[in-house]
Structure 1
Amino acid sequence: MKKHVIFDIDGTLLDSEESVLLSLQETVLMKKGKHMETEELKFALGIPSEAALRRLGFAEEELAETVQFWGTLTPSYHKYMRIFPGIRETLTALKEKGIRLGIVTSRNRPEYEKDFLPFGLEPFFDTVICADDTIRHKPDGEPVREYLRRQKAQPEEAVYI
């Protein structure tokens, strides 16, 4: 049996796709004056905000300000974010079995705090690795290895969902 279950946030714990895509769509419109369909922006799901903005042609010197701007828009789209059905029950059952729970996310720490914490799931998790905790990001394995290092766990003891 595994001793550690590590979760992603977006698309795993939270159904946040529409919220992320609509806020990114508005960011591109406001900052570049370009309308893009949300379907065109789906590449941005699951990667750090800075990486998504780079792929959209934002210059390095624009990234920090644009990420912050995007972040100011996301609260107006929170109404589209939901915990997937059965997540609370699953997390409760895993904790009752003594399994250590973690998060590895492409969100940076401020995004995690602003967008995830309001759902009240944080007490379930022992360790949270955000994009700004490692140099390389998902899909690279460094964030999961950082979780394993912090938990003093072996890879065969963990599963990443």
Structure 2
Amino acid sequence: MYKTIIFDVDGTLINTEQAVLHSLQKMLHVDYNKSVELDDLTFVLGIPGSRSLPQLGISDIDKANERWNYFMKDYFNTIEVFEGIFDLVNHLRDKNINQGIVTSKTKEELKCDFEPFGLMPYLTHIVCADDTEFHKPHPEPLLKFLEIADAKAEQSIYIGDTVYDYECARDAGVDFALALWGCKNHQNIEAKYKLETPLDLIKFI
């Protein structure tokens, strides 16, 4: 039985795909005069800007991230909590199961893009991109979570939607469940469990 449930954020708890991609596309056009199709930007999903922006030829990472976050506000109305997430976190809380997040978002991004949706009160521990030197797919973020939560890897499970999430969990020795509701290419991602809906997780805990 799992005693600790750890969630990714984007593509797992909240649907930010359109906001992330459109704001990046707009930032590239406005600030760098780059016209990039949305399909060519999907590789950024699930990894921090510090890793994705250099792949777009951008060197002033801090400034570009700040502008990217600025344009995210233009698309905030497209962000929503996935159906079934509130039912799941309420069930887990009723069962006294610890819940937390490991995300590639910075603390500032989490404050702007996640906190308004009312999920923070359910989370006992949080690891953001600011909290570790290395980021997903490196295992350090999950290992950091286990440390601060005093949780055992074999009693924990990580739920995410990308191959970066899987690799992070695998190398941290934590079971992985793939959130199919936010995943685009599940055939190419290994997972102990593949969940059609958030409430499917209940079967395994």
Q: TM-score, normalised by structure 2?
A: 0.76
Aligned counterpart, 1:54 = 54
Report whether the alignment pairs 1:29 with 2:29.
Answer: yes
Structure 2 counterpart of 1:95, one-letter code: R
Q: Give the Å deviation of 1:118.
A: 0.6
Q: Give the corresponding residue for 2:142.
A: 144
TM-fit CA distance, 1:117:
0.4
Aligned-partner Cα distance in 2 for 1:87–1:152: 25
User: Percent identity over the alignment?
Assistant: 39
1:24 deviates by: 0.5
Gaps of 5+ in 2: 160-205
Find 1:69's aligned residue among 67, 70, 76. 67
Q: Are 1:124 and 2:122 counterparts?
A: yes
- Report the secondary structure of 2:83's partner residue: coil
Return the offset for 1:12.
Answer: 0.2
CA distance in 1, matches of 2:47, 2:2: 27
Paired residue for 1:43?
43
Counterpart pick for 1:84 among 53, 74, 82: 82
How far, CA to CA, are the matches of 1:136 and 1:34 in structure 2? 29
Give the TM-score taking structure 1 as reference length. 0.97
Read off the aligned partner of 1:11 and give its amino acid letter: G
Q: 1:51, CA displacement in angstroms?
A: 1.2
Instruction: Give the alignment partner of residue 156 of structure 1, picking from 154, 157, 180.
Output: 154
- Per-residue CA deviations over 1:25-81 (Å, capped at 9, x if unaligned) read 00111122011111100000000012111111111xx11111111111111101111
Q: What code does the residue aligned with 2:126 have?
A: V
CA RMSD of aligned residues (A): 0.7
Q: CA deviation at 1:89?
A: 0.6
The structure showing larger relative contact order (alpha-carbon pairs under 8 Å, at least 6 residues apart) is 1
- Partners of 1:93 and 1:69 in 2: CA distance: 38
Cα-to-partner distance string for 1:89-139 (whole Å, 9 max, x where unaligned)? 100001111100000000011001111001011000000100010011011
Q: What is the CA–CA distance in structure 1 between the aligned matches of 2:102 and 2:43, rounded to whole Å?
A: 19
Structure 2 counterpart SS, 1:112: helix
Structure 2 residue aligned with 1:3: 3
DSSP-derived class of the 1:12 partner: coil
Letter in 2 for 1:8: D
Matched length: 159
CA distance in 2: counterparts of 1:50 and 1:26, whole angstroms: 18
